[in-house]
Structure 1
């Protein structure tokens, strides 16, 4: 809804539709221990916004000097001078300026004084509450990727660097890509059906997040078994979508029992990926 309103305002004033975002999130500088993990990365955000028809995305570098600006200084230096905005579109919970001193009412007064159009957009309701990043984070963190997908209107995606692991999967017929250095929120522990992006190919993938209790490994890992794929991915960045949660992680009494379950997981993944949009 907010992007459609942004494009409508841009058309009305005859200018480009520009999304302005902070990178990193201001909380990462002010209270790093309380900073929420991001749901996506900057390049991906720009890609998604471009698909929605946004003309440009500005990821403004967040530093102490920016955070020290008063609300009035922020409006003058950023909104008026840097962006030369003729219309502003915001949600109702927007705060700006040092110590969050500016809110939507402050913004409304500043815009009125500067003859800048202002459109405050009410969030969309899904179910019994508004769609918000906090709500989506909660879904992802508890492994409810189905609900996250419904709220996002697309599957939740992560990316990371493929590193060497114990190579135990190779010995039982299920080689996995060990995905490290994930810089966004990880779904909760469990086994998932998903898909991986390798060059131009989209490959079904069974994904495990968690320890490997069958082999007494307690370290949390992200491992993806790419179906019918035999190439090497070591050292590459891999992007993975989560389509559905299949089951909890659990120990198995034997390797044979584990293999039997993995075969079932792969079968489910194949069907889910084939029917996913």
Structure 2
């Protein structure tokens, strides 16, 4: 039997919610708000249980969706949503083979010793996702665990879901994706040395590599970053650089009014809205003129977030 003895004692005897929580979007937040209310009624703490990696990455690796949040960012957002504890459940083939009853008894009852539980009405669990909320209700009743279910959250007739947000990001629709998320979309990576062209034209960039999450489609975006406690406006260029015949797909961040060196450090940028699509310019001078316009646009877009 799979062991769950990694669960800390502090996470036991609480009210729990189990899910991928990728993106921690508005639909998740409504369910988590409901969990906070339940925990107050039961007079205990809240526990969010998330998975790593995504279950599809274990079951069908070729079909695994790109993630919206890595684990550190997901934990940060879950705690921001009022979770007292976050348990990261390692996804293995052994875990995915467990029946709903086995998972419920060994993890929810024996390890977490849950006193309450909140899930969405479309929650499914166990091997092949065979069990739904009716089975969950029966199990919770038998274990004296209070269960409450939340409705699917929609906007303009569309369900707010991680998959829909991914589609928006793939098409560069950052502002709409952020509306569904309820917060800016964050990308993080390690700053590497670039070709130095940005510095040469007066707009140095931090080039991000090893980004673990979904990178939006090619374009220029307005973003925000925090360095040593100070917020900065960021103009983010994603994709190739046609003006210099550079076809490599890169993420280049011009951090407005920042003068230090970030090479080798990790940088997180909150993307807020799209500015424009990519285009080729006849000369570096034309490119510089457009970048100046882009930076002004980014300042205007980001100013409410500073």
Pairwise same-fold verdict (TM > 0.5): yes
Question: Size of the alignment, in residue pairs?
Answer: 277
1:110 aligned to 2:146?
Answer: no
Matching residue of 2:301: 272
CA-CA distance at 1:130 after TM superposition: 1.9
Unmatched 5+ residue regions in structure 1?
A: none
- Which residue among 223, 226, 230 is the counterpart of 1:194? 223
The alpha carbon displacement at 1:114 in A equals: 1.8
Query: Which one of 89, 93, 99 corresponds to residue 60 of structure 1?
Result: 89
CA deviations on 1:23-54 (whole Å, 9 max, x unpaired) are 11111111111111111121222222222221
CA drift at 1:189:
1.0
After TM superposition, the structure 1 = structure 2 runs for residues 157-168 of structure 1, keeping only pairs within 5 Å, are 157-168=186-197
Q: Corresponding residue for 1:215?
A: 244
Other structure's SS at 1:273 match:
helix
- SS in structure 2 of the partner of residue 195 of structure 1: strand
Instruction: Give yes or no for contact 2:122–2:152 (8 Å, CA) kept in 1.
Output: no
TM-score w.r.t. the length of structure 2 is: 0.87
Larger mean CA deviation between 232-241 and 100-109 belongs to: 100-109
Alignment partner, residue 289 of structure 2: 260
Structure 2 runs not aligned, ≥5 long: 1-29
SS in 2 for 1:224: strand
Which secondary structure state, in structure 1, belongs to the residue aligned with residue 207 of structure 2?
A: strand
1:152 counterpart residue number: 181
Tell me the CA shift for residue 275 of structure 1: 2.8
The aligned residue for residue 91 of structure 1 is 120
Deviations 1:102-150 (A, max 9, x none): 2222212211222221111112221222211111111211111111121
1:164·1:178 contact (CA, 8 Å) conserved in 2?
Answer: yes
Report the equivalent of 1:245: 274
C-alpha distance in 2, partners of 1:123/1:101? 19
**For 1:38-77, what aligned pairs fall within 5 Å after superposition?**
38-77=67-106
- Select 2:265's aligned residue among 236, 240, 248: 236
Distance in 1 (CA, whole Å) between partners of 2:44 and 2:54 is 27
Superposed displacement of residue 276, structure 1: 3.1
Counterpart Cα distance in 1 of 2:183 and 2:128 = 35
- Note if contact 1:243-1:276 (Cα within 8 Å) is conserved in structure 2: no
1:90 Cα deviation (Å)?
0.7
Distance (whole Å) between structure 1 residues aligned to residue 97 and residue 81 of structure 2: 33
| Deviation (angstroms), 1:239 | 0.4
Q: Which residue of 1 aligns with 2:130?
A: 101
Do the aligned partners of 1:207 and 1:223 also contact (CA within 8 Å) in 2?
yes
Spell out structure 1 runs of 4+ moving beyond 3 A: none
Match of 2:42 in 1: 13
| C-alpha RMSD over aligned residues | 1.3
